[in-house]
Structures are given as C-alpha cells and as structure tokens.
Amino acid sequence: AGITSHDVVSVLRAALRIKKIGHTGTLDPFATGVLPMAIGPSTRLIQFLDESIKVYEGTVSLGQKTDTGDLMGEVVEEKAVPDLNANDVQVALDQFCGERMQKPPAYSAVKVRGKALYKYARAGESVEVPARKIRIDSMELLALRETEIDVRATCGRGTYIRVLAEEIGLALGTCGHLSSLRRTVSGPFRMEDA
C-alpha cells in the first residue's frame, strides 16, 4: 500500500536494469495485492492474457462519502447508518451481480483526450465520461460491523470497486466509501501463488 502501479514499474526497472516493463492492470495507491508484471519482450504478450476474472476483498465504510470514493479523499457527505443484519446486506449485494453499466470515477487512470481523469479532477475540472459495461459474477459478505462491511467481489476487468462501494452504501440506505482493497486474483495470477 502507498505506492502507485507505475512506482512498482519504476522499482523493477531500477532493480532489473530493464526498461521495458509493464503491468496488466492499475491498482489504486492504497490497495494491495496481485499486480502481474511483464518484463522485457514479454510485455507484448500482455494483450493476450486472459484477465476476464478479478477478485477483490475490500472494506466499505458506511455513513461517509468521499470525493474520491475511498479513504484518501475528503468527506463530502455524512448520513446515519441503519441497523443492518447479514441477510439484508447479502440481499443488497446480490442485486449488483450480472452485467451492468458503471461510470468510471473522476479520480481514475481512465484517459480522456490523452489525459488521465484524476488530473482533471485535481485541477477542479469536470469531464463527462460515458458509462462502461462491467460484469460482476458474485458479491459475498465476509464480515458485518456497525459501520463497516467486508466484501469479496468476483468481477470482470474494468470494474471500479470504489464506485461499487458507493453504490453499496446507497443500497443499504446510507452512503459509503472504500476504506481498504486487496486484489487476490487477476486472471490466472492468484495471491497464494505470488
């Protein structure tokens, strides 16, 4: 946690003294977990990797919404958190499964006119981005506390868990943001094999 995916590339370039290094999918700086790297000539093979399945485990903090959708942002809204039980939370999570549309967050690496969205957001500029089709295979409640839930999401590439955390907060009658995230699977690469 605390470094960008590009920072990881830079560290490997310096350590291995190889310029051509790339990763297969950006992780937010606060996130941890699987970040597959391709080194040297293998970078051209990234496009052929089957990354149709990703698995994330995260904590959704309820009652506060942030401008970034995660713990790194400023709180922009607060709401009371209703009394929740595990069954009701799981029912709410299940409604997110299947194919659906999702708009990338303002603080993301998605590029518009050659510039990452987070650069526009940091400059106070609002940029309209169309929603994209995503797929969520399963959502599982791992733990329920008074103002936090731990979830496991199995999904397709391009899914923003930060956006999902905000949507989960709304579905539970409050607001929320993502306070931790760990990618445990990225295509054929699994945490236990790392």
Do residues 28 and 7 make contact, with C-beta atoms less than 8 angstroms apart?
no
Query: Any idea which residues carry the catalytic annotation?
Result: 28
**Tokens matching residue 94:** 């299940």
Q: How many CB atoms lie within 10 A of CB 46?
A: 15
Instruction: Please tell me whether residue 8 adopts helix, strand or coil conformation.
Output: helix
Do residues 34 and 190 make contact, with C-beta atoms less than 8 angstroms apart?
yes
Measured distance CA(108)–CA(130) in Å, rounded: 14
